[in-house]
Chain A
């Protein structure tokens, strides 16, 4: 099963906004509203940031938002802060036999 496609890295200055893309197929991202996003700091477990494309768990800053268009989902972080520097992973339900697929991850650098 192929991983979802994410850019390897993105960078921006504090206060700016960034968008991380997550491209799949009609069998996963495009076929279902079941996309999630995770934040991971080095040496730590991932943390859920977005689920079901657009929903934020309780406690997650509203600077984080999710969206989807066709086979591509996106995570947008507005008003970048130094603490947002981390790795970000998307995941989707898939109709393949595995039912779950992750993206390759994107390293966010806050300049």
Chain B
């Protein structure tokens, strides 16, 4: 059974940093693109970042480029999102997700999400 379990969310002050982790199991992690997608309270899904299977290719939404860094450790079956210079508008549930098909564009499995709250 495919499982994606996020951790690392919490309350952080504006300008602060947070590192999210996603532990994957039930599939060969090193074969798949992986994504981070977020959802602000009461709002829609917003794609944040993705990384290819070996970590050599990354893309970011304009809203987080230069502040967030996606990474992975295939030996540990783990995906990460380092978030710096956090803003109130980064407050959201962050989902870790597995990508499929062309350049991993669609998501076939999602984690349950971890809540990040940016507030003073």
Q: Known: A45-B95, A89-B44. Is A98-B106 also a contact (CB below 8 A)?
A: no
Q: Tell me the total A-B contact number using a CB cutoff of 8 A.
A: 72
Total count of chain B residues near the partner, CB < 8 A: 24
CA A47 – CA B60 in complex, angstroms? 22
Whether B112 lies near A48 (C-beta < 8 A) is: no
Whether B35 lies near A100 (C-beta < 8 A) is: yes
Contacting residues of chain A (8-54) with chain B, CB-CB under 8 angstroms? 32, 34, 36, 38, 40, 45-48, 51-52
Q: Known: A34-B105, A51-B100. Is A98-B45 also a contact (CB below 8 A)?
A: no
CA A32 – CA B101 in complex, angstroms? 12
Nearest chain B CB to A21's CB is how many angstroms away? 15
Q: Known: A89-B45, A98-B59. Is A48-B102 also a contact (CB below 8 A)?
A: no
**B9 close to A (CB within 8 Å):** no
Contact of B101 among A34, A47, A105 (CB under 8 A): A34
Contacting residues of chain A (81-103) with chain B, CB-CB under 8 angstroms? 87, 89, 91-93, 97-103
Contact of A38 among B102, B107, B111 (CB under 8 A): B107
* Binary interface encoding of chain B residues 71-101 relative to chain A, with 1 for a CB under 8 A from any of its CBs, else 0: 0000000000000000000000001000011
Task: Name the interface size band of chain A.
Answer: 20 to 34
Contact of B110 among A32, A36, A46 (CB under 8 A): A46
Contact of A93 among B35, B44, B105, B111 (CB under 8 A): B105
Contact of A1 among B50, B61, B95, B112 (CB under 8 A): B61
Whether B106 lies near A51 (C-beta < 8 A) is: yes
> Which residues of A approach B to under 8 Å, CB–CB?
1, 3, 32, 34, 36, 38, 40, 45-48, 51-52, 57, 87, 89, 91-93, 97-105
Nearest chain B CB to A24's CB is how many angstroms away? 13
Contact of B50 among A3, A32, A36, A100 (CB under 8 A): A100
What is the chain B residue whose CB lies nearest that of A103? B44
Q: Known: A100-B50, A102-B46. Is A45-B113 also a contact (CB below 8 A)?
A: yes
Whether A36 lies near B47 (C-beta < 8 A) is: no
